[in-house]
Structure 1
Amino acid sequence: MNTLFGSNLKYDLKASLVVFLVALPLCLGIAIASGAPPMSGLIAGIVGGIVVGALSGSNVSVSGPAAGLTVIVLDSINSMGTFPLFLATLVIAGLIQLALGIAKAGVIGYYFPHAVIKGMLTAIGLILILKQIPHALGYDVDLMGDQAFLQTDNHNTFSEIWYAIQYYSIGAIPIVLVAMGILILFERPKIKNHKILGVVPGALWAVLSGIIINLAYGVWKPEWQLGGDHLVNIPVLDNLGQIGNLLTFPDFSMIGESTFWIVAATIAIIGSLETLLSIDAADKLDPHKRTTPPSKELVAQGIGNSISGLIGGLPVTAVIVRSSANVASGAKTKMSAVLHGVLLMILVLSIPTILNLIPLSCLAAVLFLVGYKLAKPSIFISIYKNGWDQFIPFIVTVVAILFTDLLVGIGIGMVFGLFFVIKTNFVRSVTLTEMNGNYLLKLQKDVSFLNKALLMKNLSRIPSGSKVIINAQKAQFIDHDIQEVLNDFIASCSDKNISITVEGFKYKIHENI
């Protein structure tokens, strides 16, 4: 354990600080977009970091409130009537997730095509860049946690950028440019690996520069100074004795109602799906290519959600934005996720006044860099070189997520991904090769009625007087429809003077053979 801390703690601590800076505005934004108290987002971030982070089997994923659940949470709160009633459904949802994890239901996470997961990561990167442009220009009308194409004010991603260009805040632009410059500078190996300069991550210097520049505006250029919605906004306590006032406790009075269980089951299923997608994506980002046990992750998420619901937090899932920032910042173990939760808890309670000086424009710069690393042009080129069966599901997933939301986009990408999987298996299940008038017909893997047309097409290509070998050694299952086609072909062979040899069949395909 000492060796682990000695070699990895410095990396995990730096990464946790960057994730904290990314998570802070997202937790607040997601809570407000969900129609919940701002503190509920921070509570979920703390629980996701400390509780889920400690129990998770993932080395790099980070959990917290998810932007993809905002609409579901908003509708659920409205359906239940009050926030405490909603919290009760979240406690039960956590127990459902716990049961799913114990039942090993997490294996469903292994059935998402690689191209779709890569498309999800790339789409998230593009969304981060597009969604942060308004914040970078000081147009902070929409929340930083909103990641769907359609905004809460019925505008969309691109219309918000257009409005930002028209109604920008001039003071935000120098802040984001200086922050971006610092972040790019700290990506250079000579600085990133420097014994002194590399100790503190560039994201912290970027944030400090934003605070200093904005305070300087107040002295030399007051009309440029950013305030109000342009800054982080955390509830401020007069003393630590008021912590209890920030907590909300669940109300189980509707536990006997069908609506209660429908909401709980919906949160459990959708939250589990988003978690499995995110940990799969995070594992692909992990430079060490470690694999997260999916069912263990559901157990961790279930416990986290029940605790979050008991003290007034939002639903928790593994979230790819924070996980991406974690990997990009050099995290080595899950300690970075735990430490980010600890930082949220300590700093939100101890120095909220200082945190409330952070301009959203400099945090946008941090997310710009995370987004670029997820959606670099080289990724598109690499997937394209893998062939159309990989590139089309990838690009469809990217476009679908950009113009809908995460879960809908993944669903559309899955349809295309499965189409190409089925198409590939369909073509490869029956093969026909020819050499000097001799034909080899091979039945590969499982052959079902879906392969009937292909089989008949191949058989029709065999001319009279040929020698044919039908080999089924690799076929584990042969549909009755396929057996009939083969029987009919064999029955016609004597008329066509075709010589037939049958190999590897586990049943008698024709009475004359």
Structure 2
Amino acid sequence: MNNFTTKYIKSDIKSGLVVFLVALPLCLGIALASGVPLFSGIISGIIGGILVGVLSGSQLSVSGPAAGLTAIILAALVTLGSFEVFLLAGVLAGIIQLILGFLKAGIISNYLPSNVIEGMLAAIGIIIVLSQIPHAVGYDAMHEGDYFHIDAEGNHQLFSVFIDAINFIHPGAILVALASLAVLIAFIRVPFLKKIKSIPGALIAVLVGILINEIFKATGSSLLIGENHLVSLPVPESIEQFFGQFSFPDFTQIANVDVWVVAFTIAAVASIETLLCIEASDKLDPLKRYTNTNTELKAQGVGNILSCLIGGIPMTSVIVRSSANINSGGKTKIAAISHGVFLLLSVVAIPHLLNKIPLASLAAVLLVIGYKLASPQVFVHMWKNSKKFQFIPFVVTIVAIVLTDLLMGVGIGLAVSVYFILRGNLKLAYFFKRDKHTEGKTIQMELAQEVSFLNKAAIKQTFIHLPENTNVVVDASNTVYIDHDVLQLIKDFVNFGSKEKNIKVELVGFRKEYKIENSTTHVTSVLSDNSEPVSPENIENGAKVPSSILLVKELSNV
């Protein structure tokens, strides 16, 4: 799935342009919040888009400077004493990530339940909305990356700035934001505009915002939006000034213990955030593709090495830009790469024009994205799936992330999800038996009485390594509970994965509440007495089973 294709190039370029418009202020804002030169954020965004986009195993995720690293960068700058020494720690962090990729540490993403991932996405949507409303009304006291800051008096900045914005409303910014929102909604709702696939609504919304503010400027209107509420891209006056914005690591400090502590901290946090984003992006993928997370860790490692070598800050795969990519119609990695190319061209060619973009217009774009991530339909969907096993961990994850931070919130949500699962489900070994006969080339998968999200990784690996041109029977006759994650995995395999490998799937014994339609026929397999166990590792490593009748049996002691 890592091969390039031009099949969706029009929608990918269009999506890349939208992601560029979203990424530009984020790159600048996160750099500002991290206490580093603004150009460092742009470097990270360009390399995250182009280099990581090429090397990544994901077709849809977008990499760049991440809000989750800002506190670490700020603290590291104080501890290490200079930006150049910090860049050395960033290079070492990239090397550590590269090693983690070769050690196949990316497998941990398979054990993240969907209710926690859905909760993370909804929480990010809520944070986007709360953080962009102040921009939409012309109040810019908070920079991207400071969402989770709590001051000495215990005030959560996300909410305090939101409340303060009411007292600092700028009519011109509100007018620009409403006009941009009207354009975006029109491109979603109006049939004629919906058919125009070649022009992204976000681009028109931004151009409308620029035009309105230029009219305010030309007429001397009091509604004019000042420079402090416009995009602020560095504008070098000469080639020397441009190259003077690059910084380089101080390798003389490589024996400094503090450098290595910072490096391991960045590598750990950046890797976890990347794996969370990859799992979320795969869940949003309309084509239901799976990303090789080990390849992703390697790509992130290479990206961070190069970024920090030339003065950029560390990056991760980031959910705001990734969701913007998916919601804008991106289908392949060309979208992420093109967004990096647009960032590069903007820095070199049109910084003056970009500095005319009102933040209120960009806020409108992000408000639409945030609403899609946290729409009421998402909450209704999780409620209907399972009030206990799905909805409660989902809501807990949302509240925890909004009130704390991304990693802590996901950790709390995961703990709650595991608690509910362990109450009703206990996982034993996963057994494979392979028959030596070849009649029918039929593979039988008999599900256990209790199937939890803990079984997802093994079932996913089985689906991935099933031989082509076979019949597969998935038998749920003996089950009393199947986790939503596993049900969705089976649905995706039936609708997408099986078709790519020409596998005929028969579903048997699924109860009505599983919301999976059983097949009308049942292919029966016969196992020989001399069948022998085959470990999941052997299957994962490509054990040959095309001429076998395979019984995949998962047992539970509950």
Could you tell me the TM-score, scaled by structure 1's length? 0.81
For 1:137 and 1:22, the matched residues in 2 are separated by 18
Hey, what does 1:340 align to over in structure 2? 339
1:90–1:306 Cα contact (<8 Å) kept: yes
1:237–1:349 Cα contact (<8 Å) kept: no
Hey, what does 1:282 align to over in structure 2? 281
Hey, what does 1:263 align to over in structure 2? 262
1:18–1:203 Cα contact (<8 Å) kept: yes
Hey, what does 2:184 align to over in structure 1? 183
For 2:194 and 2:123, the matched residues in 1 are separated by 30
Write 1 or 2 for the structure with the bigger share of helix. 1
Matches of residues 86-485 of structure 1 in structure 2 within 5 Å? 86-148=86-148, 150=150, 156-188=157-189, 190-194=191-195, 197-387=196-386, 388-426=388-426
Hey, what does 1:71 align to over in structure 2? 71
For 1:357 and 1:389, the matched residues in 2 are separated by 48
Q: Deviations over 1:214-255 (max 9, x none)?
A: 111113353211122201001101234533111000002221
What's the offset of the Cα at 1:404? 1.1
What's the offset of the Cα at 1:347? 1.0
1:14–1:200 Cα contact (<8 Å) kept: yes
Q: 1:445 to 1:43 in 2, by over 3 A?
A: closer
Q: Deviations over 1:350-393 (max 9, x none)?
A: 11010000010010000001001101101101101111111111
Counterpart code for 1:122: A
For 2:72 and 2:147, the matched residues in 1 are separated by 14
What's the offset of the Cα at 1:400? 0.6
Q: 1:4 to 1:244 in 2, by over 3 A?
A: closer
Counterpart code for 1:410: V
SS in 2 for 1:63: strand
What's the offset of the Cα at 1:150? 3.4
Hey, what does 1:500 align to over in structure 2? none
Counterpart code for 2:191: K
CA RMSD of aligned residues (A): 2.5
What's the offset of the Cα at 1:427? 11
SS in 2 for 1:318: strand
Q: Which runs of 5+ in 1 are unaligned?
A: 430-441, 447-475, 477-513
For 1:427 and 1:110, the matched residues in 2 are separated by 15
For 1:313 and 1:152, the matched residues in 2 are separated by 31
Q: Deviations over 1:59-81 (max 9, x none)?
A: 10000000011101111111111
Q: 1:443 to 1:361 in 2, by over 3 A?
A: closer
For 1:43 and 1:302, the matched residues in 2 are separated by 15
2:11–2:197 Cα contact (<8 Å) kept: no
Hey, what does 2:82 align to over in structure 1? 82
Counterpart code for 1:338: I
Counterpart code for 2:275: L
For 1:217 and 1:119, the matched residues in 2 are separated by 41
Structure 1: which 4+ aligned runs deviate by more than 6 Å? Answer: 442-446
The sequence identity of aligned pairs, in percent, is 51
Hey, what does 1:461 align to over in structure 2? none
Counterpart code for 1:177: L
SS in 2 for 1:64: strand
Counterpart code for 1:112: L
Hey, what does 1:467 align to over in structure 2? none
For 2:390 and 2:409, the matched residues in 1 are separated by 16
Q: 1:251 to 1:420 in 2, by over 3 A?
A: same
2:188–2:194 Cα contact (<8 Å) kept: no
1:141–1:229 Cα contact (<8 Å) kept: no
For 1:5 and 1:101, the matched residues in 2 are separated by 25
SS in 2 for 1:36: coil
Mean Cα deviation higher: 242-251 or 99-108: 242-251
For 2:449 and 2:18, the matched residues in 1 are separated by 54
SS in 1 for 2:63: strand
SS in 2 for 1:223: coil
Bigger Rg over Cα:
1
What's the offset of the Cα at 1:87? 0.2
SS in 2 for 1:224: coil
For 1:110 and 1:175, the matched residues in 2 are separated by 43
SS in 2 for 1:284: helix
Q: 1:443 to 1:224 in 2, by over 3 A?
A: closer
For 2:449 and 2:285, the matched residues in 1 are separated by 39
For 2:109 and 2:428, the matched residues in 1 are separated by 26
Counterpart code for 1:328: N
What's the offset of the Cα at 1:419? 0.7
For 2:102 and 2:187, the matched residues in 1 are separated by 44
1:136–1:362 Cα contact (<8 Å) kept: yes
1:21–1:363 Cα contact (<8 Å) kept: yes
What's the offset of the Cα at 1:4? 6.7
Q: Deviations over 1:386-409 (max 9, x none)?
A: 111111110000001111111111
Q: Deviations over 1:147-204 (max 9, x none)?
A: 326379965222212211111111101100000000001113724552xx43210100
Hey, what does 2:19 align to over in structure 1? 19
Counterpart code for 1:175: V
Q: 1:133 to 1:245 in 2, by over 3 A?
A: same
For 1:110 and 1:189, the matched residues in 2 are separated by 40
1:28–1:145 Cα contact (<8 Å) kept: no
Q: 1:189 to 1:145 in 2, by over 3 A?
A: farther
What's the offset of the Cα at 1:144? 3.4
What's the offset of the Cα at 1:40? 0.5
Counterpart code for 2:72: I
